[in-house]
Structure 1
Amino acid sequence: MRNTVFRKLMANEFGQVRAEMVARDHVMSALGGRTADEALEAGVPAKEVWLAVCDAFEVPEHRR
C-alpha cells in the first residue's frame, strides 16, 4: 500500500480534518508508541500503519 492510498483511506474513514489529526496526534502502542505519521516517517509500511489505526479505532472489518 502506498502512502497516498493510506491517506485516502484515512480521509474516507475519518473525514479529511480528523484524519490529519489522528495521523499526527494519536499515539499507538501497536506502532511502538508512535503516531501514524511518525511510523510512516520511520519506514513502517503503510498497510501496517493502516491496520494499527483500524484496530485502535475499531474500524469494521469490511472497511479495512
Structure 2
Amino acid sequence: MKNTLRVERAILRVTQAELAEKVGVSRQAINSIETGKYIPSTILAIKLARVFDKSVEDIFIIEPQD
C-alpha cells in the first residue's frame, strides 16, 4: 500500500519522532509505514489522517491487484 505520509509530514514540517508521539507509536513504526514495510491498523490510519486533517483515503492508496 502506497502512502503520502512523508509528503504530509514535510508540508507540516513534522519529524517522524514528533508524528510518532502525536499518534502513540515509535519513530520506527512511522518509518516502516512510510517505506511500505508496515501497513497500519485502521485505528492508527485514522489517527494519522486526523493529524494532517485529511481522509484516510487521501493518505493511504490501495494499489489494484492483478
Structure with higher RCO (Cα < 8 A, 6+ apart) = 2
TM class by smaller structure: 0.3 to 0.5
- TM-score, with normalisation over the residues of structure 1? 0.39
Which structure has the greater CA radius of gyration? 2
